[in-house]
Amino acid sequence: MSEPTNTPQNREWNDVDDVSWTLLKREELVDAYWAVIAPAMEADGLDSTQEKPTHSWLREHDFRPLLYTLREYHDITFGDFWSDDLGLKPEETGYNWATNHERTIEALESFLSSRRERKGLAESSIDTLRYRLNRYVNAYRDENETDDLVTPIARESDVPAYKAVDACWAAFDRLHDDLDGGQTKRRIHLAVSNWYAHLVRRKWAAINPADGLDDEFDWSNGNGGSDADTPCLDVEHVRALYQTATDAEERLLVLALCAWGLRPGEVARLHTRQFVLDPNDEDVPFITFEERKNGPGEVSLLYGREVLEDRLAAAADSDEWNGYLFPSPHASGGHISRWTVWNRFRQLADRAGLPETIDGENPSPKMGRRFWYDAYSSSLDVVLGSLDEIAAEQGSASADVVLQNYLSDTRARKLRREYMREQLTAAFEEVNS
C-alpha cells in the first residue's frame, strides 16, 4: 500500500463552501480531502491519517457532496477512495459481517457501540449480540438478494414501508425454516428489533420493520418449528386443497408443498432452470438446488409433471415472464416471498374447508411438507414389507438386510419411488392432473 497522500497540492480551498466536488478529478478530490476534510476531523479530535470518517460524520459536516461525487461521477465507494486514493489502511472492525454495504455496517457498529458505552454490556455480551445480528443479516441478504439493509428503512427512502417490512419478514421466514429452537429465534428477533429501534431513535430509520413480528410466529419453548414437530396433513386435506385450487399457480403450490416436499422458501424461489424434465439414463424428472438447508441437492418429481409442463408452456409465451414459477406481482419483478406462499396457502386452506387447527396448530405450508415425509416413510415401510418373503426364503434376519445387501441402490430407489407415486396418486385421485 502506498504512503498516505497527505500533502495537498492545491491550497485554494479554505472551507467546504469553496469546493465544487462534482467538477474535481480523482487526484483533485485527494487534494480537497486533505485541505478541507482532514482539518475538520482534527478539530473534532479525530486522527485524519488513521481514522476513516463515517458516513454520518461526513453528512453532519456537510461533506455529503463528496459521497455523491464518488458514487455518481467516479463509480467508487468512499471506502475505496479512502484506501486506494488516499493510501490509508482500511478501518478494521474486527468482525466479518455478512455484508459489504458500508452504511449497513456503520449502522450495526453504531448499535453495538451504544450498547457497550450506554448500556455497559460486557464484551462477551457484545460478541453474542453481534453474532445474532449477523445471522439476520446473512438471512436478509440471501432472501432479498441485497446486503443493503438500511436504504429500505431510511427516512429519505423511496421504498414503500410495506416492502421494507416484507423484506424483513422474509428474512425471518428463512431463519424460522433454517433454525431449530424457538428460544434461538426469539433471541435473534429481540436483537434485530432492538437494532432497528436504535436506528429509529437515531433518526436513521423511519420504521422498525421487525416490530410485532414475534406475534406472527409461535416461538414458545418446545416449538422451534422443526419438521419433526410439525403436524401432518392427511390425504383428505391434500385432496381438498388440490380440488379447491382454481388456477395453475394454486395447483402448483399444492404440488410443490405436498407432492414434492419443498420448504415454503424453496417454493417461492422456484425457477425454470431448476427443472430437469428429460433426464438421462431413464431417471425420473427432478428439481435441482444449488443451495439448500443441508447443501446442494435434487428432489424427484414423482407427480404433477403435466401440470408443471402446462404452466411452463403457458408462461413461456409471455414476453414479461422472468422464469420464476411464482413471479412477483409487483413491477419490480423477481419472485414472490416465502410469506406470500404462507398467505396463499392459508387462503386456499380456508376455501377448502380445512379445520381451523390440526393437532393444535393452524394449517400451514410446512404441514404439506410433513405430509410428503410421512408418505415417503410409509412407502419405505411397504417396500420393506414386500421383502419379508424374500428375507425368509434367503434366511436373512430381516427385510432391512435384503434391502441393504441384496438390492442395488438403483433397484431399491425404484421400488421406493413406485410406492411413493402410488401414495401421491391416492392423495390427488379424482382430480385431473
- pLDDT confidence of residue 151: 94
- pLDDT confidence of residue 8: 41
Instruction: Report the residue count for the chain.
Output: 433
Domain containing 113 equals 102-215
Does 197 lie in the same domain as 121? yes
Phi and psi (nearest 5°) for 10? Answer: -125, 120
Does 71 lie in the same domain as 147? no
- pLDDT confidence of residue 267: 92
Tell whether 59 is covered by a domain: yes
Does 107 lie in the same domain as 160? yes
- DSSP per-residue string spanning 358-422: BTTB---HHHHHHHHHHHHHHHHHHHHHHTHHHHHHHT-S-HHHHHHHTS-HHHHHHHHHHHHHH
- pLDDT confidence of residue 395: 47
Phi and psi (nearest 5°) for 239? Answer: -65, -40
Report the number of distinct structural domains present in the chain.
2
Instruction: Give me the average pLDDT of each 10-residue run along the chain (433 residues).
Output: 43 60 85 86 79 75 82 78 77 70 92 88 81 91 90 92 93 82 81 94 94 79 49 90 93 94 90 85 78 65 90 80 85 76 92 88 88 76 52 47 50 72 80 46
Which residue's entry shows cell 414386500? 386
- pLDDT confidence of residue 3: 44
Domain end (from 215, 232, 266): 215
Neighbours of 131 (CB within 10 A): 12
- pLDDT confidence of residue 229: 57
pTM of the model: 0.49
Tell whether 140 is covered by a domain: yes
Instruction: Look at residues 307, 140, 284, 115 and name the one whose alpha carbon lies nearest to residue 209.
Output: 140
- pLDDT confidence of residue 167: 93
Order of strands, edge to edge, in the sheet holding 275-276? 275-276, 286-289, 297-300
**CA distance linking residue 123 with residue 128, whole number of Å:** 9
Within the chain, what is the greatest distance between any pair of CA atoms? 100
∠ Cα 205 207 328 (to 5°): 110
Bridge partners of residue 299, in order along the sequence: 287
CB 307 within 8 A of CB 252: yes
Tell whether 48 is covered by a domain: yes
- pLDDT confidence of residue 398: 47
Bridge partners of residue 289, in order along the sequence: 297
Neighbours of 67 (CB within 10 A): 18
Does 44 lie in the same domain as 79? yes
**CA distance linking residue 233 with residue 148, whole number of Å:** 38
Instruction: Look at residues 195, 40, 47 and name the one whose alpha carbon lies nearest to residue 108.
Output: 195
Bridge partners of residue 276, in order along the sequence: 286
Tell whether 114 is covered by a domain: yes
CA dihedral (360, 362, 363, 366) positive or negative: negative
